[in-house]
Chain A
Amino acid sequence: MTNEELKSYIETNYTSLLTHNEAGKYDLLFEVDAVNLVTVCEKLKNDPELLFDYFCNLSGADTTEKFEAIYNLGSIKKKIRIDIKVVLPHENPVIDSVQTVWPAANWYEREMWELYGIHINNHDNLTRFLLHDEWDEGYPMRKDWDAPDFIRFPDL
Chain B
Amino acid sequence: MGIIKKLPIYSEKIPGGGIVTTSVEQILNFAQAKSLWYLLFGTACCAIELMCTGASRYDFDRLGMIFRASPRQSDLIIAAGTITKKMAPRLRTLYDQMAEPRYVIAMGGCTIKGGPFYYDSYSVEKGIEHIIPVDVFIPGCPPRPESLLEGCLTLQKQIQQRKLADWQEK
Contacts and interface: CB of A to CB of B under 8 A. Distances in A.
Interface string A113-156: 00000000000000000111100010010000001011111000
Contacts of A130: 123
Q: Which among A140, A149, A152, A153 has the greatest number of chain B C-beta atoms within 10 A?
A: A149
A105 B123 CA distance: 24
Interface residues of A, number: 12
Nearest to A115: B122
A147 B120 CA distance: 10
Given A132-B84, A132-B85, A151 B123 contact: no
Q: How large is the interface on B (under 10, 10 to 19, 20 to 34, 35 or more residues)?
A: under 10
A133 B123 CA distance: 11
B86 A131 contact: yes
A150 B122 contact: yes
Interface string A30-45: 0000000000000000
B93 to A, nearest CB: 14
Interface string B61-85: 0000000000000000000000011
Contact of B122 (A133, A140, A153): A140
Contact of A133 (B86, B119, B120, B126): B86
Interface of A: 130-133, 137, 140, 147, 149-153
